[in-house]
Every structure is written in structure tokens, then in C-alpha cells.
Amino acid sequence: MALRAVEEYKASLRDGRTVYVAGQRVDDVTTHPILSITTEHCGNIYRLALDPEWQDLFTGRSPDTGEVVNRHFLLPSTPQELALRGRMIEEHTRQGNSTLNLTKSVSGDALMGLTVVCHAMDPALGTRYSERVAAFLRHVRERDLSVALAQTDVKGDRRLRPHEQPDPDAYLRIVDRRADGIVVRGAKAHITSVPVVNELIVLPTRALSANDADYAVAFAIPVATPGLTIICRPTGSVEQSVFDYPVSRRNIETEALTVFDDVLVPWERVFMAGEWQFAGQLATSFATFHRFTAISYKPPIGDLLVGAAVMIAEANGTAEVAHVREKVVRLIHYTELIRACGKAAAYEATVVPPGIAVPNAVYTNAGKHHFASHFHEACRLVQDIAGGMAITAPCEADLRNPATGHFVAKYLKGAAGTDAVLRLRLFHLIRDLTASDFGGYNYVVTLHGEGSLSAQALATYREYDLERCRDLARRALGSA
């Protein structure tokens, strides 16, 4: 069996990688106050794959060795397998208190994009990248590795193409080609879970022209590679109690500015080096797979918001009030439309050479755009139902202190028969999800993760069958 225990996963992260948090170099990411939370959260994927209750969903047989492997690295070849992948992503998010966990899914998305695009690029340009991509897929699958994905360049002036930037390193680029590999320089922004994974796949951000050939670069490297520096975002609630911060004290991802300071990438790990003609296709192909992952991981937070809204309404005595019920219904619609897009995207998938089921791009982008453009509103509905205590309630220490605890227990009571402590905990849950440091993170990751709103709008316009609609309009005109 090629499945690692969570302790093996953690041990593999103690490899001398260069990681910084809040200005301090981190010796061991598995024991660091912030990164240990991320490590535990990401470790859930390993726990679930070994749990007899979940093994069917989280594992399958390797096509190479026949061994049991994690399903994230079994590339779906039918709409049904794609739907199963979506269910798996939804389930591990739910089990992680609705916080996304990209340690395997995002690299699966990248490997699907690379497999499809290299299959087209190799015969067109005489390259042999497909073999390398397949070898890397076997490497991560048979060793049960965790892999992050770095696509987003820091991009400097957004109006300028890579070769036009005043600083040529604003997009990651090849600075040297040697007998043993390429040397790359630049930085990728916001890279999720990079401090707590084994490997990193790098892809181009955008379509490129011949002048940008050195920016057309894709590869994979171990995180401990010399020249790679990981500068993590700080996080706010690490000193707080789980009672006060029930999600963010246990379930967070960590993003990092990831700097490539003349990093050597051996040729066998290079998947694109100058083939600018296929950079746009690779960026788009990955984005479609990754947005399918996004619409699969998002329904659990919708469910959690619905649950929190209903429970706090019950605790406040407003559950039967018409406007409250109407707001709960809007939350349900918000969530179920995402879930419906995920199912439609899977079951309307197209199988493309060499046998990968590609999610329907219109449903995928519509689902992603819907959840990103209405998430703030969903949180507002929960805050509206909860009342101001969502941000002003006393904390656990006040409840435990004999001088104040009896006041908290007396004055936090809501509807008759409601447990004051449960009500207090619901306020903290809602604050943590929508109005804390982590709540702010949720707003922005929902908006920008997997690409900004305009990227999904662009993809929808490009992919939609407008001719079908024009035909209908022409018919209507003709019959007048």
C-alpha cells in the first residue's frame, strides 16, 4: 500500500527547507505555533485515506503498480470519476471544518492540465514532456507526497507583458539553460500550503508571445531545493482558545510569497521551457480543473453558515420569524447553486486525449463566479441573523473566571431552554468565520483564489455556445 501515515508525512517536512514566518526563520514547520496548525489540518488527507470508513472514497488502485494509492493522483477518465473526485474534495473539506485543504488536489489539477497540454504540445513542437509529466505523477502517487502549485506571478505593472516590465523578474523566467537543467528566477505570490508540502509544481500565469519565451516555463521541484525561500503570511488567532476561535485554531491553510533565487531545475523535472505557444493553453487548462476543485470545496462552508444561522436563530428565539427564514433560504440557495454547478460540471465533462475528463468550463466558471460574487452577502446574512454579540460576546476566559462566569451564564441566555454556553459558542463560531482575522481571509480567498472574478467572466464568455443563442434570436426575428 502506497499510503503514508500522518507521522510519516510530518517527518518528511523536516528537511531543511527555507521558511520564514513574521520575520523569523522556522526550524521545524511541524512544531511552529502557526505552521503546526496548518500541518495538522493538511494531515487530515492522510488520516482519511487510512480510515476504513473513508478509504473507498479517498483511495483507488494505481494503474502502474496496482497498489492502493490516494485518489487525488488518479486522473479521472470519465465524468463519473470526476464526480467522485469532487465528492472526495467536498468531504475532506467538510471534515476540516469547511476549510479548504489543497495539499493534494491543486497539484492533481496541475497534473491533469499538464497531461492534456503536453499531449498536444509534444507532437506539435517535437518536445517530449509527456513522459516527464507521467514520471512525476508516478513519483508523487507511489510515494503519497503532498504537492503545492505555484502559478500566480507577482506581475509588477498589470498593464505590461512580462518582457515589458521594468524589472524582468516580475514574472518567473529562465535565466540560464545548462547541460543539467534550467536556472529560474522570480517569485510566485500567495502559494497555498507550500511550507507544509513535499514538492512544488510551477506553471505559467498567462498566455505569452514570442518575446516572452523565457517566461514560458513549467516544472516541479522539492520544497527544500536550494534557492527557494518561502515567506509565509502571519495569522492572528494562534494564541487564542479553540472555544473562542473554533475553526481557525484548528483548520487553516498558509499562503506564502515563494521566491526562486536562481534555482536549478534538472531537465527531467522540466515540463515547458520556452514553448510560449502553449503557455496560455496550459494556464487555462489548469484553471478549469482548479475551479472545479474550488466549486467542490466551497459547499461545506455554505452548509456551515446555514447551520450556524439556523442554530443562532433558534438560540435567539427568532427561528420562526419570516425575514429570518427567508434569509436562511437565501443561504441555502447560495450553497446549493454551487453544489449543482459542481455536479453539472462533472456530469457534462468532455473526455479529451489522452483520456482525461475535463469539467464543463461554463458550469465550472459559473459556479466559481457565483460563490465568489455572493460570499460576502452570505456572511452578511448570518451576521444579520446573529446580532451584534457575534463580535462583542465575552470570551472563554470570562466564562471560566468565577468573578464573571455567572454573569456570562445569566446574561448570555437567549430563547427559553437555550444553553447560554452553546449560544456563546455560536457567536464565536460566526465571528471566527465572518468577522475575525480568519473571517477577513475567507472574504478575500473566496474573491481571488482560483483567479479573480473577471477571469471567470472571460472564460464563460469564451466557452459559452453563443451561436446557439444567436440562432434562436435569428429564428425569433424570422418569424416576426
Ligand X SMILES: Cc1cc2nc3c(=O)[nH]c(=O)nc-3n(C[C@H](O)[C@H](O)[C@H](O)COP(=O)(O)OP(=O)(O)OC[C@H]3O[C@@H](n4cnc5c(N)ncnc54)[C@H](O)[C@@H]3O)c2cc1C
CB 170 within 8 A of CB 186: yes
With a CB cutoff of 8 Å and minimum separation 6, the contacts of 99 are 41, 93, 247, 251, 252, 253, 301
Among 18, 38, 103, 192, binds ligand X (CB under 6 A): 192
Distance from C-alpha of 362 to C-alpha of 372, rounded to nearest angstrom = 15
Distance from C-alpha of 188 to C-alpha of 254, rounded to nearest angstrom = 14
Shorter beta-carbon distance to ligand X: residue 44 or 107:
107
CB of 441 to ligand X, least distance (A): 7
Interface positions, 417-456, toward ligand X (CB under 6 A): 444-445, 448-452, 454
Q: What is the per-residue binding string for ligand X in 159-188, x denoting contact by CB under 6 A?
A: -----------------------------x
12: left (phi over 0), alpha (psi -120 to 50) or beta: alpha
109 binds ligand X (CB under 6 A): no
CB of 216 to ligand X, least distance (A): 16
CA 266 to centroid of chain Cα atoms: 28
Interface positions, 459-478, toward ligand X (CB under 6 A): none
Residue 328 carries which side chain, given as an amino acid letter? V
Segment near ligand X (CB under 6 A), from 33-41, 149-157, 218-226, 330-338? 149-157
Report the first-to-last Cα separation within the chain, whole angstroms: 68
Joined grid coordinates for residue 460: 464563460
CB of 160 to ligand X, least distance (A): 9
Helix, strand, coil in percent for the chain, rounding step 5 = 55, 15, 30
Segment near ligand X (CB under 6 A), from 26-34, 189-197, 311-319, 372-380? 189-197
Distance from C-alpha of 432 to C-alpha of 437, rounded to nearest angstrom = 8
CB of 164 to ligand X, least distance (A): 12
152 binds ligand X (CB under 6 A): yes
Shorter beta-carbon distance to ligand X: residue 69 or 201:
201
150 binds ligand X (CB under 6 A): yes
CB of 193 to ligand X, least distance (A): 7
Interior CA angle at 12 toward 6 and 13, to 5°? 100
CB of 73 to ligand X, least distance (A): 17
HSE-up of residue 144 (Cα within 13 Å, Cβ side): 25
Classify the C-alpha dihedral 446-448-453-456 as positive or negative.
negative
Joined grid coordinates for residue 382: 448570518
Is residue 25 classed as helix, strand or coil in its secondary structure? strand
CB of 189 to ligand X, least distance (A): 6
Task: From 442, 4, 66, select the one nearest 237 (Cα to Cα).
Answer: 442
Joined grid coordinates for residue 225: 531545493
Distance from C-alpha of 411 to C-alpha of 398, rounded to nearest angstrom = 12
CB of 262 to ligand X, least distance (A): 21
- Chain position carrying cell 485515506: 49
Backbone phi and psi for residue 70, each to the nearest 5 degrees, phi listed first: -70, 135
CB of 148 to ligand X, least distance (A): 6
CB of 258 to ligand X, least distance (A): 9
CB of 451 to ligand X, least distance (A): 4
Among 149, 282, 306, 366, binds ligand X (CB under 6 A): 149
206 binds ligand X (CB under 6 A): no
Segment near ligand X (CB under 6 A), from 9-17, 190-198, 222-230, 273-281? 190-198
Segment near ligand X (CB under 6 A), from 146-154, 259-267, 359-367, 414-422? 146-154
Interface positions, 212-271, toward ligand X (CB under 6 A): 255
Among 24, 25, 52, 158, binds ligand X (CB under 6 A): 158
Shorter beta-carbon distance to ligand X: residue 139 or 155:
155
Q: Applying CB under 6 A, what is the total number of residues that bind ligand X?
A: 21
CB of 81 to ligand X, least distance (A): 24
Q: What b-and-e string marks burial along 411-437, b requiring 16 or more CB atoms within 10 Å of the CB?
A: ebebeeebebeebbbbbbbbbbbbbbb
Distance from C-alpha of 250 to C-alpha of 243, rounded to nearest angstrom = 11
Joined grid coordinates for residue 144: 503519497
374 binds ligand X (CB under 6 A): no
95 binds ligand X (CB under 6 A): no
Task: From 384, 358, 375, select the one nearest 299 (Cα to Cα).
Answer: 375
Shorter beta-carbon distance to ligand X: residue 393 or 435:
435
Segment near ligand X (CB under 6 A), from 86-94, 150-158, 278-286, 337-345? 150-158
Integer Rg of the chain from CA? 24
Binding site for ligand X (CB under 6 A): 106, 149-152, 155, 158, 188-192, 255, 444-445, 448-452, 454
